Protein backbone atom coordinates (compact mmCIF):
# COMPACT_ATOMS: atom_id res chain seq x y z
CA UNK A 1 0.00 0.00 0.00
CA UNK A 2 2.82 2.43 0.80
CA UNK A 3 4.40 1.95 -2.63
CA UNK A 4 1.10 2.77 -4.33
CA UNK A 5 0.72 5.95 -2.28
CA UNK A 6 4.31 6.98 -2.98
CA UNK A 7 3.75 6.44 -6.71
CA UNK A 8 0.54 8.49 -6.55
CA UNK A 9 2.31 11.33 -4.71
CA UNK A 10 5.22 11.27 -7.19
CA UNK A 11 2.76 11.54 -10.08
CA UNK A 12 1.07 14.54 -8.43
CA UNK A 13 4.38 16.35 -7.94
CA UNK A 14 5.42 15.55 -11.53
CA UNK A 15 2.07 16.74 -12.90
CA UNK A 16 2.28 19.96 -10.85
CA UNK A 17 5.80 20.62 -12.15
CA UNK A 18 4.67 20.03 -15.75
CA UNK A 19 1.65 22.30 -15.24
CA UNK A 20 3.76 25.11 -13.73
CA UNK A 21 6.40 24.78 -16.47
CA UNK A 22 3.70 24.82 -19.18
CA UNK A 23 2.14 27.94 -17.64
CA UNK A 24 5.47 29.78 -17.49
CA UNK A 25 6.34 28.81 -21.06
CA UNK A 26 2.88 29.86 -22.28
CA UNK A 27 3.35 33.32 -20.75
CA UNK A 28 6.45 33.72 -22.91
CA UNK A 29 8.67 34.29 -19.89
CA UNK A 30 10.52 30.97 -19.80
CA UNK A 31 12.62 29.18 -22.37
CA UNK A 32 13.14 25.48 -21.76
CA UNK A 33 16.58 25.39 -23.37
CA UNK A 34 18.50 27.90 -25.45
CA UNK A 35 22.08 28.85 -26.13
CA UNK A 36 22.78 32.54 -25.62
CA UNK A 37 25.58 33.90 -27.79
CA UNK A 38 28.11 34.40 -29.03
CA UNK A 39 27.14 37.76 -30.53
CA UNK A 40 29.59 38.65 -33.28
CA UNK A 41 29.82 41.26 -35.96
CA UNK A 42 31.53 44.21 -37.51
CA UNK A 43 30.94 47.98 -37.49
CA UNK A 44 31.79 49.96 -40.64
CA UNK A 45 31.36 53.48 -42.00
CA UNK A 46 28.25 53.45 -44.22
CA UNK A 47 29.79 55.74 -46.83
CA UNK A 48 33.38 54.51 -47.09
CA UNK A 49 32.93 50.88 -46.01
CA UNK A 50 36.00 51.24 -43.77
CA UNK A 51 35.97 49.63 -40.31
CA UNK A 52 35.16 51.83 -37.33
CA UNK A 53 37.69 51.12 -34.61
CA UNK A 54 36.76 51.83 -30.99
CA UNK A 55 32.97 51.72 -31.40
CA UNK A 56 31.30 50.61 -28.17
CA UNK A 57 29.14 47.49 -28.42
CA UNK A 58 27.12 47.17 -25.23
CA UNK A 59 24.94 44.15 -24.49
CA UNK A 60 22.41 44.00 -21.67
CA UNK A 61 20.37 41.02 -20.47
CA UNK A 62 17.19 41.36 -18.47
CA UNK A 63 15.10 38.86 -16.56
CA UNK A 64 11.37 38.55 -17.24
CA UNK A 65 8.95 38.27 -14.32
CA UNK A 66 5.46 37.01 -15.23
CA UNK A 67 2.51 39.00 -13.94
CA UNK A 68 -1.21 39.42 -14.49
CA UNK A 69 -0.68 42.37 -16.83
CA UNK A 70 2.22 40.79 -18.70
CA UNK A 71 5.89 40.44 -17.92
CA UNK A 72 7.99 43.03 -16.16
CA UNK A 73 11.77 43.10 -16.62
CA UNK A 74 14.73 43.70 -14.34
CA UNK A 75 18.43 44.05 -15.06
CA UNK A 76 20.33 40.74 -15.06
CA UNK A 77 23.81 41.41 -16.51
CA UNK A 78 25.68 43.42 -19.12
CA UNK A 79 28.91 43.30 -21.08
CA UNK A 80 30.65 45.81 -23.31
CA UNK A 81 33.45 45.56 -25.84
CA UNK A 82 35.22 47.90 -28.25
CA UNK A 83 35.57 47.12 -31.93
CA UNK A 84 39.10 46.25 -33.01
CA UNK A 85 41.14 47.66 -35.92
CA UNK A 86 39.03 45.62 -38.36
CA UNK A 87 35.82 46.96 -36.80
CA UNK A 88 35.05 43.49 -35.42
CA UNK A 89 33.58 42.57 -32.05
CA UNK A 90 32.47 39.50 -30.12
CA UNK A 91 30.39 39.27 -26.95
CA UNK A 92 30.47 35.72 -25.57
CA UNK A 93 26.88 35.56 -24.30
CA UNK A 94 25.65 33.55 -21.33
CA UNK A 95 25.98 30.09 -22.89
CA UNK A 96 23.55 27.23 -22.25
CA UNK A 97 20.42 28.34 -20.38
CA UNK A 98 17.86 25.81 -19.09
CA UNK A 99 14.39 26.80 -17.81
CA UNK A 100 15.39 30.43 -17.81
CA UNK A 101 13.54 33.73 -17.69
CA UNK A 102 16.60 35.60 -18.98
CA UNK A 103 15.78 37.45 -22.18
CA UNK A 104 17.95 37.66 -25.27
CA UNK A 105 20.66 40.35 -25.18
CA UNK A 106 19.67 43.90 -26.12
CA UNK A 107 22.47 45.60 -28.03
CA UNK A 108 23.58 49.23 -28.31
CA UNK A 109 26.34 50.35 -30.65
CA UNK A 110 27.73 53.83 -30.15
CA UNK A 111 30.63 55.84 -31.56
CA UNK A 112 30.92 59.61 -31.23
CA UNK A 113 30.09 61.27 -34.54
CA UNK A 114 28.06 58.35 -35.92
CA UNK A 115 24.44 57.27 -35.81
CA UNK A 116 23.63 54.95 -32.94
CA UNK A 117 22.20 51.44 -32.95
CA UNK A 118 19.53 51.97 -30.30
CA UNK A 119 18.60 49.30 -27.74
CA UNK A 120 17.13 46.32 -29.58
CA UNK A 121 17.13 42.57 -29.06
CA UNK A 122 19.92 41.07 -31.16
CA UNK A 123 17.64 38.88 -33.31
CA UNK A 124 15.14 41.75 -33.57
CA UNK A 125 17.70 43.73 -35.55
CA UNK A 126 17.08 41.33 -38.45
CA UNK A 127 13.54 42.69 -38.77
CA UNK A 128 13.71 46.19 -37.25
CA UNK A 129 16.77 47.76 -38.84
CA UNK A 130 16.74 48.52 -42.58
CA UNK A 131 18.57 45.95 -44.71
CA UNK A 132 21.04 48.59 -45.96
CA UNK A 133 22.12 49.39 -42.37
CA UNK A 134 22.69 45.87 -41.05
CA UNK A 135 23.82 42.98 -43.21
CA UNK A 136 23.54 39.45 -41.83
CA UNK A 137 25.84 36.59 -42.74
CA UNK A 138 24.42 33.73 -40.69
CA UNK A 139 24.44 34.96 -37.09
CA UNK A 140 27.11 37.62 -37.71
CA UNK A 141 25.98 41.18 -38.37
CA UNK A 142 27.75 44.00 -40.18
CA UNK A 143 26.47 47.38 -39.01
CA UNK A 144 26.81 50.28 -41.46
CA UNK A 145 26.81 53.50 -39.42
CA UNK A 146 26.31 56.87 -41.06
CA UNK A 147 28.69 59.67 -40.06
CA UNK A 148 26.53 62.53 -38.79
CA UNK A 149 26.88 66.26 -39.30
CA UNK A 150 27.07 68.44 -36.19
CA UNK A 151 23.45 69.52 -36.78
CA UNK A 152 22.29 65.89 -37.01
CA UNK A 153 24.22 65.04 -33.86
CA UNK A 154 22.57 67.85 -31.90
CA UNK A 155 19.08 66.90 -33.11
CA UNK A 156 19.27 63.21 -32.34
CA UNK A 157 18.15 61.46 -29.20
CA UNK A 158 20.85 59.25 -27.72
CA UNK A 159 19.45 56.14 -26.02
CA UNK A 160 21.25 54.43 -23.19
CA UNK A 161 20.27 51.32 -21.26
CA UNK A 162 18.05 51.35 -18.20
CA UNK A 163 20.96 50.25 -16.02
CA UNK A 164 22.85 53.48 -16.72
CA UNK A 165 22.97 54.76 -13.16
CA UNK A 166 23.07 51.53 -11.17
CA UNK A 167 25.68 49.67 -13.22
CA UNK A 168 28.11 52.29 -14.46
CA UNK A 169 31.07 50.02 -13.71
CA UNK A 170 29.97 47.71 -16.51
CA UNK A 171 29.63 50.47 -19.09
CA UNK A 172 32.78 52.54 -18.71
CA UNK A 173 33.48 52.69 -22.45
CA UNK A 174 29.92 53.75 -23.22
CA UNK A 175 30.19 56.54 -20.65
CA UNK A 176 33.59 57.60 -22.01
CA UNK A 177 32.36 57.64 -25.61
CA UNK A 178 29.18 59.56 -24.70
CA UNK A 179 31.30 62.17 -22.91
CA UNK A 180 33.48 62.51 -26.04
CA UNK A 181 30.28 63.11 -28.02
CA UNK A 182 29.11 65.75 -25.54
CA UNK A 183 32.47 67.58 -25.56
CA UNK A 184 32.60 67.60 -29.37
CA UNK A 185 29.15 69.22 -29.38
CA UNK A 186 30.32 71.88 -26.90
CA UNK A 187 28.28 70.54 -23.99
CA UNK A 188 29.47 69.56 -20.50
CA UNK A 189 31.02 66.10 -20.66
CA UNK A 190 29.22 64.92 -17.56
CA UNK A 191 25.78 66.03 -18.70
CA UNK A 192 24.69 62.47 -19.51
CA UNK A 193 26.71 60.37 -17.09
CA UNK A 194 29.60 61.34 -14.84
CA UNK A 195 32.94 59.75 -15.58
CA UNK A 196 34.36 57.81 -12.69
- Condensed to tens digits (0 to 9), the pLDDT of residues 138-150 reads 889 999 999 998 8
pLDDT given for residue 182 in this prediction: 82
Assess whether pLDDT exceeds 80 at residue 114.
Answer: yes
- The arrangement of secondary structure in 2-184, i.e. its CATH architecture, is Sandwich (2.60)
Q: Where are the domains of the chain?
A: 2-184
Distances (CA, A) of 119 to 12, 47, 99, 116: 43, 23, 25, 9
pLDDT given for residue 39 in this prediction: 94
pLDDT given for residue 51 in this prediction: 98
Comparing 85 with 117, which gets the higher pLDDT? 85
The pTM of this model reads 0.77
* CA proximity to 159, closest of 108, 111, 125: 108
Assess whether pLDDT exceeds 60 at residue 12.
Answer: yes
pLDDT given for residue 29 in this prediction: 57
Question: What contacts 146, CB < 8 A, 6 or more positions away?
Answer: 46, 47, 114, 115
Amino acid sequence: MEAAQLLKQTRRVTNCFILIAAFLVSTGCVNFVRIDGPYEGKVIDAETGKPIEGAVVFGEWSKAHPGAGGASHTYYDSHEVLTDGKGEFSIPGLGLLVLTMIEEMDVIIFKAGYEQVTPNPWSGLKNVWPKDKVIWQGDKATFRLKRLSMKERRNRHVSFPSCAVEHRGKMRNLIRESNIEMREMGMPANMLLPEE
